[in-house]
Amino acid sequence: MKKTATRLADGRELLYYDARDDTVRDAVDRRPLDAVNTASEIRRDPLLGDAVAVASHRQGRTYHPPADECPLCPSRDGRLSEIPDADYDVVVFENRFPSLAGDTGRCEVVCFTSDHDASFADLTEAQARLVLDAWTDRTAELSRLPAVRQVFCFENRGKDIGVTLGHPHGQIYAYPFATPRTELMLRSLAGHQERSGRNLFDDVLADERADGSRIVLAGEHWTAFVPYAAHWPYEVHLYPNHRVPDLPALGEAARAEFPRVYLELLRRFDRVFGTGEPPTPYISGWHQAPVAGWEGWDRLPVDRDAFALHLELFTIRRTSGKLKFLAGSESGMNVFINDVPPETAADRLREVASA
């Protein structure tokens, strides 16, 4: 992998990740852009204790442009975009409309391919590996920023999810705090260790493998399963079989196997509701341990290596043509009601395996 850093016309950082070491990237962003003006702030809810990012400037972000005006396509044929070059493998750049910026963190966009009409599931294994390498590099780099406490690499796919750009891409949020979801996991991890002396993540993975009814896909280095208490109708968790706290800690064998396993999962998601359906909307995200400098480690009787890197993939579609809406119980009280038994979801995801 070759990494090339440059700057966009408004000063934002852009990084090319190329499969070939001899690739030259010297295109210049010639757009007449004003400097980015953000007004992001973090506010704490005094009752719940969680954080809310207030970012009013995001109201002006690009919303469903025509394909020939996509800002994530390469710059070509006289049309200038966020990517100055005429082609690319993988690109990462600072979001022009970030939810987090400066002392409140950082937001980046990850373009998986220059092909506007593709999706992640259409990538080759080599292309998916390059995306994994980019996620890993950005996790390592962002974790070194003084304000950053946790790095979250994720993809939103589909208009039903709320995606405003159709080009295959994801995002990276570098938070100035550990997220509430992660803090809940860490408290459960600490409690389980105090009660049993064992690691909760290891026990969850071992129990799922022993039971087998919710296993969707098992490789030599990765296991994918529908969790016992899945929140979403179709939800899969993907764990490396050897526990590591974050992407940079993954071994080469696990990195090499990941593209095959993950691409198969995404392709099954696109088949789960049958032929003739539009592409399945989904959210996919990496859960990583907070950075070593996170102040919360002093409050917990666990060390950072006790956390288990894992990916969570789920769709908001509950059946053909119908969405799972977060109504009163889910939105009001955070108590999920799942319409599809996890064992049934796992059966279906096994049924639609590639031939």
Cα–Cα dist 108/95, whole Å: 5
CA distance 179 to 150: 8
Whether 310 is catalytic: no
Q: Which tokens is 150 given?
A: 């946790």
Distance CA 104, CA 176 (A): 6
Those residues with Cβ within 8 angstroms of residue 251's Cβ, 6 or more apart along the chain or in another chain: 221, 242, 244
Amino acid at residue number 62: T
Q: Phi and psi at residue 267, in whole multiples of 5°?
A: -70, -35
Distances (CA, A) of 251 to 142, 204, 242: 20, 21, 9
Indicate which residue of 167, 169, 192, 221 is catalytic.
Answer: 169
| 3-class DSSP string for the chain | CEEEEEECCCCCEEEEEECCCCCCCCCCCCCCCCCCCCCCEEEECCCCCCEEEECHHHHHCCCCCCHHHCCCCECECCECCCECCCCCCEEEEECCCCCCCHHHCEEEEEECCCCCCCCHHHCCHHHHHHHHHHHHHHHHHHHCCCCCCEEEEEEEECCCCCCCCCCCEEEEEEECCCCHHHHHHHHHHHHHHHHHCCCHHHHHHHHHHHHCCCEEEECCCEEEECCCCCCCCEEEEEEECCCCCCHHHCCHHHHHHHHHHHHHHHHHHHHCCCCCCCCCCEEEEEECCCCCCCHHHHHCCCCHHHCCCEEEEEECEEECCEECCCCHHHHHHCCCCCCCCHHHHHHHHHHCCCC
Catalytic residues: 169
